Amino acid sequence: MRFVVDANVIISAALSKQSVPFRALEMVLDHHTPIISEQTFEELQTTLYKSKFDRYFAIEDTRPGILATILRYSFVVTPNETIKLCRDPKDDMYLELAVSGNADCIISGDPDLLVLHPFRNIPIITPKEFLDRFS
């Protein structure tokens, strides 16, 4: 199965290996195919390198390691449709990725995406809902 994992879930997973987002991301990486686009990867990278996370990622190779892991396990998709629907326009890229990449589901903690569940028959669910549904 193919899953879009929002940057907020990936960063939450990286911050705590005991968290629900970590377990959800681990399950996607181990048993499914995460899909990313250049835009969603860029957002992950930009967010991960914000100064507010410096205290959590003190070791210099932590952030590059997270990004390398995501790239290694993910299938890169170039969205072929423009969607303008989210209350927060920067989140439209996740919908575009899901549609263009034939995603089975979007995993997110973002209320601006969750309120659209389902989007074109693609469920948009939290990490906990993902674990409940797919474990």
**Can you give the pLDDT at residue 61?**
75
Q: Encoding tokens for residue 129? A: 């809902």
**Can you give the pLDDT at residue 57?**
86
Instruction: Judge if pTM exceeds 0.85.
Output: yes
Kindly report whether the peptide bond that precedes residue 34 is cis, defined as omega within 30 degrees of 0: no
Q: Hunting for tokens 């377990």 — which residue is that?
A: 23
pLDDT tens, position by position, 76-112: 999 999 999 999 999 999 999 999 999 999 999 999 9
- Average model confidence (pLDDT) for the chain? 96
Q: Hunting for tokens 């410096």 — which residue is that?
A: 54
With a CB cutoff of 8 Å and minimum separation 6, the contacts of 45 are 67
- Find the mean pLDDT for residues 55-62: 82
